[in-house]
Amino acid sequence: MKVCVYTLGCRLNQCESEALADAFAKEGFDITDEEAGDAGLYVVNTCTVTAKAEQKARRMIRLFAKSGASVVVTGCYAQMAQSELEALGRIHVVPLERKSALLSLPRHIKDCAAAGMSLEESLPLFTGPESSVFDYQASSFSYHSRAYLKVQDGCDNSCGYCRVHIARGPSQSLDADEVIRRAMDLEGAGFNEIVLTGVNLTMYDHEGAGLGGMMLRLIPRLKPSTRLRLSSMEPDHIDEALIEAVSSPAVHPHFHLPLQSASQRVLERCGRLYPMSHVEWVVKQLRAARKDPFIACDLISGLPGEGEAEFQETVDFIRGNDFAQAHVFPFSPRPGTALEKARDRVSERVRDERAQVLRELSEDLHQRYIKRQVGSEVEVLLESRKDGAWQGTTGNYLKVKVEGVEGLVLDRGQIVRGILKAPGLVSLS
C-alpha cells in the first residue's frame, strides 16, 4: 500500500513527518506524495499557527477522504480541535500528545492485516505504546535532501498571539550526548547537511548548557565536510556561546529570527519580554561571526497596539539592519490566546496595507542581498535534477541552478562548491 505523509507548518513538523514516513518505509510501505494522489493512507500532520494553516488542513483532509483513502490526522491543530476535525468525516484523529506513538502505526496495520482486518478496521484499534517527543528518528528522508534532527520541543514563553506553546506544552531538550549520537548516525547514513530543529530551538537547555554549548560539543565530532543548518532562532536566548558556535564554517551562514515586530512597545504588548537592544546585539554579532550571512525574519503586521509610529520602527529596523528576507503574516487572533480579544486591534485594511509594505520591503532587500553575493564562493546542497540541470540551495539559502557539471557523477544530497555567477546560477567550473 502507498502512504503519503502530508505536512503543514514548521520545520519541526517536517522533521517529525520524515520520521513517520521512515517508519512506514521500514515496514515495507511505499511512500508517495499528495500530488500523485495514489495513497491508500494519508497521515496529515497539521499546524495551528494561523487560521489559514488550519483552513488548508481541513481542505486537504476533505480532499484525501473524498479519494476513498483512509486519513489519520495529527499535529498541533489536531491537539487543539479534535472534535472539529472528527466532524469532517471518516477521519482518525491522533492528538499531538500521542503523535510519536504513530511511529508504531505501520507495525499495527501490518499485524491487523495479517489477522485479516482491513485498514479501516485496524485504525480505530490503534492505541500505540507510551512514547516520547524525542522518539522521532528518521534514517531516511523521503521528502527532503537534508536530514532533520529534533533537539527541542515545547516552549516556556507565552507570546500573546501564539497557540503553539499551548499545544506543545513546556520546553524539553534532548540529552546532548544523544544529539551527538543521532547526528553521527545521520552522517553515517550519508547525510551531508543536518538541520537542528525545535519549537523554540534557542530554549535548548541540557544540564545548563544551551544550544551554543551543545553545538560546541557536537561540531568537533562531525566530519569536516558536514554542515549544520539552524531552524528558526528566537532571539531572547541567543548568547555568546551560540555566537561562537555559529562562527564555525560547519554551520551554514543562514539565520532566521522570528522577530514579529521591532517595536519595543508592541513586543511588550505581546508578552515578548526581551529588549530590542538585545536583538541589535544579536544581528551585530551574527554579522561579525560570518561574512554577509543570510539573516531573515518573521514579521506579523497589525499586531494589537501597533500604531503608525510602531510600524515605522519595524520598517526602519528591518531596512537599517539589512535583513535578507522577511516572511510576513497578517495578525489574526487565535482562539485561546492572550490577544484573542484584544481591544487595541488594528483594522484589517491597515493590517493588510502594512503587510504589503513589508512584503515589498522584503523583496527589495532580498534582491539586494542576492546581487551582492554574485561573484562569491558558495556551497550548494543538490536537491533535484530537472532537464539535466541540478537545482539546489546554497549555504546562505539561495535557490540556484548548477552549471559546469558535465562529466561529474553527482548525487542528490551532495554538497558542491562553486561561484555564484549570476542570481540563481552557480558554476562549478
Shortest distance, CB of residue 127 to ligand SF4, whole angstroms? 29
* Beta carbons of 286 and 255 less than 8 angstroms apart: yes
Q: Which is nearer to ligand SF4, 158 or 312 (CB)?
A: 158
> N- to C-terminal Cα distance for the chain?
44
Kind plus residue range of the DSSP H or E element containing 353: helix 348-373
Kindly tell me which of 163 and 182 has the beta carbon lying closer to ligand SF4: 163
Burial (CB count <10 Å: 0-12, 13-18, 19+), residue 114: exposed
Contacts of 84 (CB under 8 A, 6+ apart): none
* CB within 8 Å of 427: residues ≥ 6 apart: 402, 403, 404, 418, 419, 421
Q: CB within 8 A of 217, min separation 6: which ones?
A: 176, 180, 209
CB of 179 to ligand SF4, least distance (A): 20
Report yes or no: 299 and 327 within 8 Å, Cβ to Cβ: yes
Amino acid at 370: I
Q: How far is the CB of 311 from ligand SF4 (least distance, A)?
A: 20
Nearest to ligand SF4 of 8, 199 (CB atom)? 199
Pairing of strands 377-386, 415-422: antiparallel
Nearer to ligand SF4, 146 or 168 (CB): 168
The distance of closest approach from Cβ of residue 386 to ligand SF4 in the complex, given in angstroms and rounded to an integer, is 36
> What's the chain's length in residues?
429
91 vs 230, beta carbon nearer ligand SF4 = 230
Min. distance of Cβ 161 from ligand SF4 in angstroms? 7
Cβ proximity to ligand SF4: between 40 and 169 the closer is 169
CA dist 31 and 415 (Å) reads 25
Helix (H, G, I), strand (E, B) or coil at 289: helix
Pick 13 or 200: Cβ nearer ligand SF4: 200
Neighbouring residues of 418: CB distance < 8 A, sequence distance ≥ 6 = 377, 378, 380, 402, 404, 426, 427, 428
In the complex, the smallest distance separating the C-beta of residue 268 from ligand SF4, rounded to whole angstroms, is 13
- Of 38 and 340, the one with the shorter C-beta distance to ligand SF4 is 340
User: Closer to ligand SF4 at the Cβ: 125 or 273?
Assistant: 273
CB of 266 to ligand SF4, least distance (A): 14
**Closest approach of Cβ 262 to ligand SF4, in Å?**
15
Q: Which residues bind ligand SF4 (CB under 6 A)?
A: 155, 157-159, 162, 164-165, 199-200, 234
Residue for cell digits 487565535? Answer: 334
Give the bridge partners for 153, in sequence order: 172
Of 158 and 247, CB closest to ligand SF4: 158
Q: How far is the CB of 270 from ligand SF4 (least distance, A)?
A: 8
Contact 37, 77 (CB under 8 A): no
Q: How far is the CB of 154 from ligand SF4 (least distance, A)?
A: 8
- Label residue 306 exposed, middle or buried (CB < 10 Å: 0-12, 13-18, 19+): buried
Q: Which of 227, 383, 193, 366 is nearest to 402 (CA)?
A: 383
Q: How far apart are CA 179 and CA 230, in angstroms?
A: 14
Phi, psi of 163 (to 5 degrees): -100, -10
Task: Name the residue nearer to ligand SF4 (CB basis): 192 or 200.
Answer: 200
**Helices marked H in 176-260 — which ranges?**
176-188, 211-218, 240-246
Distance in Å, CB of 75 to ligand SF4, minimum: 15
